[in-house]
Amino acid sequence: MENWLKKRVLLSPNKIAIQAGNTKLTFKEVSDRVAVLTARLANKSRKGMRVALLTNNTIDGYLMILSLQQLGCEIVFLNKRLSHEELQYQLEDAAVSLLIYDESLLHEEFVGIESLTFNQIESLEESRDFQLVSEFNDDEVTTIMYTSGTTGKPKGVQQSFKNHFYSAISSALNLGLTDKDNWLCAVPIFHISGLSIIMRGLIYGMTVTLMDKFDAEKVTFLLKESSVSTMSVVPTMLQQLLEIFPQEGYNSNFRCFLLGGGPIDKVTLEQCQQRNIPVIQSYGMTETASQVIALNFEDAENKIGSVGKTLFSVELKLAHDGEVLLKAPNITPGYLNNPEKNQEVFENGWFKTGDIGYLDEDGFLYLKGRKGDMIISGGENIFPHEVEESYLKLTGVKDIVVAGITDKKWGQVPVAFVILERKLSQQELISYGREHLAHYKVPVRFYQVMSYPQTASGKVKRRELIQIKEYQKNLIK
């Protein structure tokens, strides 16, 4: 395909490409800035070179991504929430030649890695002896993102131009596309959720409104007063926005929230329904370059709780145990330096997601939970999400995480870690469960906690949770 930035400038040079705060840049202005930045970067990088990028959600970070693509570099995105040791591992595993970073994010050097700050790049001379990539090779890896590593060392997920392109096209076929679209990005651009918005903006010719971080009040202001049409959210973000939802609603151009990043309780979705807030549930992961399954507007009301049907270019089937298997042009070509894992997750062209689900009579997918999270008690399968969803309907339970512990009689039994808004006894919690769930699914013990151990991307570490001895002291009486 022709270089996306070059093509976009040809098609819509004066359309606003990116805005953040009071700064707005058209695609032509973006291209001009990228040209200068690329000329400077050409002194330090070349086609095929792996360059790590550590950035906030800023226009400088946005421009850096596009500039590195113009040089044909493979961009290794680093998560700013990781420890120095974790980042060092990823830099070494990816054999990174150069690290580029926002000076506000790093205060300690890495061993054996050449580093440049954004400010240092500004002072580099512009090279005249370099060539921009004229075409983006479909199968060429352009980005690498490391998974959060809830079950071991993080894995480098490779993403090709084809992955990003088909992700964008499939999303457009599902959500539709208008010349007024303006996607609010308050999710990190070093995650696939944020990067996919930037790639869509470039491919669609769509405006992206970039926020440095999620702030419910600031987001609500933008949703009311600006022309934002779409916003990607995770469950906690949506719940915070619901708490301060304005009576007058959002601006007339607003179309929907695209909800991803994990399962959400039906209570929250029903609240959105009651307030006429369009929410499109979706399912995807780093390995699929964002969403591969989603509910469209037409089905959202009748299929609440489902993540929907596959997008146009995606095939789905279920394994004998209910594991979701996918085949699509936006699925990763594989994990970096990990042939054993690649052999494990790919089978005859199908990608094993590790998620367990079922299809209803109309072909809509419902997820039960992660295969690795499943609790097997006395031969019965228990999915933590099902138990959690039931308890979130109990007044006083603000949040709950269920995990399995070893039991001599049953093999495993579920226990729960709850954040309470009012006092509830052990017996009240157990009794509630027995009224709403099969008895074997009811947690045998409940512990009160204030928070949960999480990965850098916000996923709860269930396995670590049950190993924290301090929690054992907080058994609810």
Q: Report the pLDDT value the prediction gives residue 372, as an integer from 0 to 100.
A: 82
Sign of CA dihedral 277, 281, 282, 285: positive
pLDDT by residue for the chain (477 residues), tens only, comes to 999 999 999 999 999 999 999 999 999 999 999 999 999 999 999 899 999 999 999 999 999 999 999 999 999 999 998 888 889 999 999 999 999 999 999 878 898 899 999 999 999 999 887 788 899 999 999 999 998 655 567 899 999 999 999 999 999 998 999 999 999 999 999 999 999 999 999 999 999 999 999 999 999 999 999 999 999 998 889 999 999 999 999 999 999 999 987 666 777 888 898 898 999 989 999 999 999 999 876 787 788 888 999 999 999 999 999 999 999 999 999 999 999 999 999 999 999 999 999 999 999 999 988 888 889 898 888 989 889 989 999 999 999 999 998 888 888 999 999 999 999 999 999 999 999 998 999 999 999 999 888 876 667 888 788 776 666 778 898
Q: Report the pLDDT value the prediction gives residue 121, as an integer from 0 to 100.
A: 96
Residue 39 CA, distance from chain mean position: 32
Joined tokens for residue 115: 């580093």
Q: Report the pLDDT value the prediction gives residue 263, as an integer from 0 to 100.
A: 63
Cα–Cα dist 394/270, whole Å: 15
DSSP states along 40-103:
HHTTT--TT-EEEEE--SSHHHHHHHHHHHHTTPEEEE--TTS-HHHHHHHHHHTT-SEEEE-T
pLDDT digits (tens, 9 = 90+) for 30-85: 999 999 999 999 999 989 999 999 999 999 999 999 999 999 999 999 999 888 88
Cα–Cα dist 79/82, whole Å: 6
Hey, is 280 helix, strand or coil?
strand
User: Which letter does DSSP use for residue 475 in this model?
Assistant: B
Q: Report the pLDDT value the prediction gives residue 82, as an integer from 0 to 100.
A: 86
> For the chain, how far is it from start to end, CA to CA, in angstroms?
64
Hey, is 432 helix, strand or coil?
helix
Cα–Cα dist 131/35, whole Å: 11
User: Which letter does DSSP use for residue 474 in this model?
Assistant: G
pLDDT digits (tens, 9 = 90+) for 155-209: 999 999 999 999 999 999 989 999 999 999 999 999 999 999 999 999 999 999 9
Q: Which domains does the chain have, with CATH numbers?
A: 4-368 (3.40.50.12780), 374-474 (3.30.300.30)
Q: Report the pLDDT value the prediction gives residue 462, as an integer from 0 to 100.
A: 82
Cα–Cα dist 359/117, whole Å: 49
367 φ, ψ to 5°?
-100, 140
Among 247, 263, 259, CA closest to 389: 263
Among 37, 326, 51, CA closest to 163: 326
Joined tokens for residue 226: 């600006």
User: Which letter does DSSP use for residue 125 in this model?
Assistant: P
Hey, is 396 helix, strand or coil?
coil
Hey, is 195 helix, strand or coil?
helix
Residue 381 CA, distance from chain mean position: 27
> At a CB cut-off of 8 Å and minimum separation 6, what does 192 contact?
145, 159, 284, 285, 286, 289, 290
Q: Report the pLDDT value the prediction gives residue 470, as an integer from 0 to 100.
A: 66
Among 446, 448, 458, 460, CA closest to 405: 446
Q: Report the pLDDT value the prediction gives residue 109, as an integer from 0 to 100.
A: 84
Hey, is 203 helix, strand or coil?
helix
374 φ, ψ to 5°?
-60, 135
Is residue 223 within 8 A of residue 211, CB to CB? The reply is no
Q: Report the pLDDT value the prediction gives residue 385, as an integer from 0 to 100.
A: 87
Q: Report the pLDDT value the prediction gives residue 423, as an integer from 0 to 100.
A: 95
Within 6-48, strands assigned E span 16-20, 23-26
